[in-house]
Structure 1
Amino acid sequence: MIHPTKLVQILSSLAVLGSTFTFFQYAPTTLAKHGARSNDHDHHRHLAARRSVAQAVRRRTGSKTNLIKRGADGSKCRVKGQAYTPPSVSTSTSTTSDSTTSTTSTTSITTQSTTVWSSPPPTSTVPPASSPLPTSSAASGPVVAGDWAASSGNNGQNWGGWKNQGKKFGLAWPNGNWAGSSDSNYIGNYIGSKTSWYYTWSPFSVSSGDSLGIEFVPMLWGPNQVSDWWGQQGHWPNTVKNAFFFNEPNEQSQSNIAAGASVQYWMNDYLPLRNKGIALGSAATTNAPSGVQWVMDSISACKQYGNAAADCQPDFAVCHWYSTQVSDMQNYLWNYHQTTGLKIWVTEYACQSYSNLPQCSNGDTWYLHQTMAEWMDSQDYILRYSPFGAMENLQGVNQDNALMNPWGSITDLGNWYIWNS
């Protein structure tokens, strides 16, 4: 686990067709070279993607995209059980470090334009910064399935693309959009007969993947990505039918926000997607005990602040899992489903020991992936899954889990997933 580096403010001024657009956004300190992949692939945790919202300008000029990503110094992990309280928010919910998760992403892309949402809709009921979060016991028992009637009419079960519809396997894809069809790391080489969807840990899609018919699932990674979230919605492909909320909010090195503090982002920035028929996934939590607790506490806090119960409820759950035993993963996913009352998207998993358990061998890794893919395909309550990961460097995760070689070509495990899983 690694702490992110400090963020710096970037001012970007663009002039097109006689009109001047000025954008202010917060961006991380590490900038990739213009039109090239960043060499900063040495961090174990997620690297949040950032870029300007002026996508149409870059398309017209034909210029390649600058990638801006957040680095991490890897100095230390927070002590397990240490509480965290966001500034100006009083809450009974604390974040807990988890030694069993991992994510990376450095993605930014332009897609076809639709109707642009230039600004958020009127604000919904959210907690004032000074209000304490009432204590929640929501995670003490399973939720009755009837309590989870989602207004989107989707419930995370609809496919938005036309390629491999009905297949659960998808790509966790942090590789950007620069690869062409002749490149080994071209997303088209990772579709086969099984890949039906992908996500980028961000609101930026991959236009080549969109044109090939796989569904894009946008993610509101955390509070610092809100401006990108609104700016990109007009550029999403029409394959978007589902979305993800915050990335590992119960983990200090990730979006790291208390459940009560997340309510304003859910209500004001995320919930409006339901009016467009998009199903809302929960935050993607780690498999620490604090993960499912965070989801339950966020729903409870949302309702306690006076919002309608239906508005506070996700349409499906999103979770991550890292360990070594197939039976542990199966039990964890079943318990997550039982506790939340929701069907599940598993958007990161790998055979990786972060404890005193022995590290997975290559044989162990293959066994976990093959067994779990077959098992998840057979479980009605598991809607989609995407292993970690389709990237050149797994950022500290056991490299035997890689679907992509360090030079960009697909691995044997990757080939197995896209053709045989």
Structure 2
Amino acid sequence: MVSFTTFLIASLAGASLAAPTKAPLAKRSNSKKGISYNDASLVSLFSDGSWAYNWDMSVGGSLPSGVEYVPMFWGTGSESGWDAAVQTALASGSTHLLGFNEPDLSSQSNIDAATAAALYKQYITPYASQATLVTPAVTNGGAPMGLTWMEQFLTDCNGECGVTVMAFHYYADDNVSNFENYVNQAISTAASYGISEVWITEFQATGVSDDAQAAFINSVVPWLDQQPAVGRYSYFYAADGYLTSGGALSETGSAYNSAE
């Protein structure tokens, strides 16, 4: 996988450390809620959630029982080992495959829409009969990024990519209305291409305090759970300084885990 750590340091400021929350939380198993991670052992801290991914094609450890691992074809350079990894994932219970990570961003997979569509058809579409196929996950950047890039990708697919889910990311402040409006815009974009389900595979209220992030989570997670077109979502992300701290849930992580 291309260095994800470098991108985190460069582009996501404002996440603060918080005291760990050690109190056990009841198991709820939210079918939409997911955990994004680089360290698989941290996923076990979360009692609420049904799926996880790590921007990679192999799980990199053990996930709790009942948590589906979703492999990702991160971008160019991921060709080697992809087919074998997908077969392993499918045999282990994976039912979904993710496309490229932020191809509209130069510091991430950085793929133009036409090339992305061709690569998708070559490497991911062949599994359409074995798994649910998810589009590349774009940023919420303005044109030509974000949903503009996505529209071009879906146009270039010409109905031949086999995707039935559209993925996107959202990074901004803690304005709940802006978040909900953007999600609805994404749902509308997907629907215009015959796609009835969207995933928010990364989202975060950036540049705000832990308390503000917790309040944001407690507002938007129940709303997401009520939206029929939102299939899955994942707050960013299971790592120290974000959803965990010192091997336990941070204040933000605890809010995400318990929000319903």
TM-score (norm 2): 0.83
Report the alpha carbon displacement of residue 295 of structure 1 after superposing the two structures with TM. 1.6
In the alignment, the residues of structure 1 paired with residue 28 and residue 126 of structure 2 have an alpha-carbon distance, to the nearest angstrom, of 29
Residues 284-306 of structure 1 deviation map (CA, whole Å, 9 limit, x = unaligned): 00001221111211122232xxx
**Equivalence map 1:104-115=2 (5 Å):** none
SS at match of 2:258: helix
**Equivalence map 1:1-150=2 (5 Å):** 43-45=6-8
Q: Per the alignment, do residues 326 and 383 of structure 1 end up closer, same or farther by CA in structure 2, a change over 3 Å counting?
A: same
Question: Does the Cα contact within 8 Å between 2:54 and 2:71 map onto a contact in 1?
Answer: yes
The partner residue of 1:172 within 36, 57, 79 is 36
Aligned to 2:151: 296
In the alignment, the residues of structure 2 paired with residue 268 and residue 44 of structure 1 have an alpha-carbon distance, to the nearest angstrom, of 27
Residues 400-421 of structure 1 deviation map (CA, whole Å, 9 limit, x = unaligned): xx2111x222213323333343
What letter corresponds to residue 348 of structure 1 in structure 2?
E
The partner residue of 1:268 within 114, 122, 125 is 122
Aligned to 1:51: none
Aligned to 1:333: 183
Does 1:375 find its partner at 2:209? no
Does 1:242 find its partner at 2:82? no
Q: Per the alignment, do residues 239 and 263 of structure 1 end up closer, same or farther by CA in structure 2, a change over 3 Å counting?
A: same
Runs of 4+ in structure 1 deviating by more than 3 angstroms, as ranges, are 163-166
The partner residue of 1:188 within 33, 44, 52 is 44
Q: Over the residues paired in the alignment, what is the CA RMSD in angstroms?
A: 2.5
Report the alpha carbon displacement of residue 100 of structure 1 after superposing the two structures with TM. 8.1
In the alignment, the residues of structure 2 paired with residue 204 and residue 175 of structure 1 have an alpha-carbon distance, to the nearest angstrom, of 12
Aligned to 1:414: 253
Report the alpha carbon displacement of residue 207 of structure 1 after superposing the two structures with TM. 4.6
Residues 369-421 of structure 1 deviation map (CA, whole Å, 9 limit, x = unaligned): 111111101111111111001112xxxxxx4xx2111x222213323333343
Aligned to 2:71: 218
Report the alpha carbon displacement of residue 318 of structure 1 after superposing the two structures with TM. 0.5
Aligned to 1:61: none
Question: Does the Cα contact within 8 Å between 2:235 and 2:256 map onto a contact in 1?
Answer: no
Which structure exhibits the higher relative contact order, with contacts defined as CA atoms closer than 8 Å and separated by 6 or more residues?
2
TM-score (norm 1): 0.53
Aligned to 1:403: 243
Question: Does the Cα contact within 8 Å between 1:188 and 1:212 map onto a contact in 2?
Answer: no
Report the alpha carbon displacement of residue 333 of structure 1 after superposing the two structures with TM. 0.7
Question: Does the Cα contact within 8 Å between 1:100 and 1:321 map onto a contact in 2?
Answer: no
Aligned to 1:16: none
